[in-house]
Structure 1
């Protein structure tokens, strides 16, 4: 038997009003996202908004109607609403997923068990929508985030280590530019080889028209074309029937045969992409991150001022890329940003200490 909630106090009513404001803000986020979607995803988002509307009505009933003063939604809810109105992207869904996971209804005596259950289910629904977005998200975007992050960390560690040896600002600048070019060229070359190898592998494994011209000369009752189809996964009976149809068509069309048409895999090269395009993208993404640690020296700073500014600039960039990586993986963005910051600063600290040691021994 469910315990009767205690008599409400003024604090309870203020809390209900806050819940009401949050539910309205969440429902509006889903409606804003729905305007940027179509089909099934739009219907799902509108259903979520309707469910939040039921929760909103629950708090209105407890309050006895619309309160005279409704508190503003939380900063997080307002930020989410702003993003939903302007972007409607995977990042908004990822943030909404985290927001649904922070529902207070489990410990709220005036919330029904159904409302608490709804919020848990909502989190999984939003997770599913976010997962769809992650799968659709361009591989180029992922490469941009990870490539820029690699450039940030590697070149920060390089200029910190070189700078700690006590060499001139010009030498640090030269080292940073050299590190940028070396890293970006290495990334670009590696991406070129990877994509080129994938395309060559696809060329070697895709069906070809090598034997098409010889098809009319095969024996209709005992032909090895069926073996070709069996190697591609067809059951024996289906392969035999397919081979017979193809040979009959080949003879009818004077050697022009659809033998490989049904099993060719169009678009595989498009999925892999251009080797030159992948190499250029990888080069630019790495370079865009690697240039940031060098900016203070490019603009003429040196010594402690350059080091501090480089750390600040890279720290901001690491927080941003880490937050985006966290969102893409469904983790809290702040946690992802702080983790990336710790990794980047940790690598820089190691090379800085080594630079100090070499600088002292050289002196």
Structure 2
């Protein structure tokens, strides 16, 4: 296969690749300064890999060009966020950026570079996943709380307002909906998370029978049944049971000892019950106050409705984009989905309000 003859346009494209690789390497190095141990080493290794790609384009260009373009918008956004926000947001964006690598269709990029970018995406996705797992419990409650507050209170005030009641009644309904919804969300999250944690704790190994170990018959060895109940094969369970009893029943050992050295289950993914409840309460309230703001400012009628829709629309787009960003999905698509769902619910209640208003008239 013959290598195509480079054109002026090709050289411009190489220069763009060059500055993008440099900017991406800088992002990984900046993130590495906030990490320790293995994560730091991984980020620095990614930066070194981007440096190898940079060298490839430098070789094709015949050295450092006299003038270089700016990195593309997405790469500049990564760099800006890397110095100002938590690494999970930057890693989520970097994951999307690595997945959009143009090297697969680039005739001057060797196959190994295109393969590198695919692997980089998986590496970054795994790093971002660690942060997502740490955030998932409280973040889920926060996002759901804010979104529920936005949608439910927007639907409430528009539905009430469409009936033609006085602005003061719309305002009262919005504030009442805010308090009722926030308390309900907070209580619901607390009960949900606490129940889930208690359910998981009930599945962990118990020390209930530890004090009986020194008195077990070594030959009958019913301790093996415990291990089999925990998922061990029969032969492995018997070996483990004999080993445990040999230790516990040997001279000089304490009267009790653990049936199994169990690793405590991690509840990081679930999060704290109080943390989930508080974040859900606060974020529901912060979302629910937005549709009420026009009436708090003294507006009424169509002007209040339009301002409420505009404010809630911006908030829905923001929360949708954040969810998309943190989940590694396209932020714009998630933002648009959030907007359509929220406005769809509000439209239904508004039409019902109009209907009841006409009927009452």
Question: Shorter-chain TM-score: which interval?
Answer: 0.7 to 0.9
How far is the alpha carbon of 1:238 from its aligned partner?
3.5
Q: Say if 2:157 is the partner of 1:156.
A: no
Aligned 8 A contact 1:246 1:259 in 2: no
Q: Quick one: which of 131, 141, 144 aligns to 2:142?
A: 144
Partners of 1:64 and 1:179 in 2: CA distance: 67
Q: Say if 2:46 is the partner of 1:48.
A: yes
Match of 1:329 in 2: 327
Partners of 1:282 and 1:338 in 2: CA distance: 23
Q: Deviations over 1:57-104 (max 9, x none)?
A: 232233332222211112221111011123351111111121122223
Q: Which moved more, 1:233-242 or 1:303-312?
A: 233-242
How far is the alpha carbon of 1:198 from its aligned partner?
3.2
SS state at 1:26 partner: helix
Match of 2:90 in 1: 92
Q: 1:189 to 1:242 in 2, by over 3 A?
A: farther
Match of 1:262 in 2: 261
What are the ranges of 5 or more consecutive residues in structure 1 without an aligned counterpart?
none
Report the RMSD for the aligned CA atoms in angstroms: 3.0
Match of 1:76 in 2: 74
SS state at 1:92 partner: helix
Aligned 8 A contact 2:137 2:276 in 1: no
Q: Which moved more, 1:132-141 or 1:213-222?
A: 213-222
What are the ranges of 5 or more consecutive residues in structure 2 without an aligned counterpart?
none
Q: Deviations over 1:24-45 (max 9, x none)?
A: 2122112212222233322222
Partners of 1:131 and 1:237 in 2: CA distance: 39
How far is the alpha carbon of 1:172 from its aligned partner?
1.0
Partners of 1:274 and 1:105 in 2: CA distance: 44
How far is the alpha carbon of 1:268 from its aligned partner?
6.1
Q: How does 1:94-173 map to 2 (within 5 A)?
A: 94-173=92-171
How far is the alpha carbon of 1:317 from its aligned partner?
1.3
How far is the alpha carbon of 1:340 from its aligned partner?
0.9
Q: Deviations over 1:253-290 (max 9, x none)?
A: 4xx52245734x64667875654554333222222211
Q: 1:170 to 1:335 in 2, by over 3 A?
A: same
Partners of 1:136 and 1:291 in 2: CA distance: 28
Q: 1:68 to 1:205 in 2, by over 3 A?
A: closer
Partners of 2:269 and 2:179 in 1: CA distance: 28
How far is the alpha carbon of 1:186 from its aligned partner?
2.1
Q: Quick one: which of 278, 282, 285 aligns to 2:283?
A: 285
Partners of 1:7 and 1:206 in 2: CA distance: 64
Match of 1:197 in 2: 195
Partners of 1:270 and 1:115 in 2: CA distance: 36
Match of 2:339 in 1: 341
Alignment coverage as a number of residue pairs: 358
Partners of 1:64 and 1:166 in 2: CA distance: 73
Partners of 2:212 and 2:106 in 1: CA distance: 77
Aligned 8 A contact 1:41 1:129 in 2: yes
Match of 2:238 in 1: 237
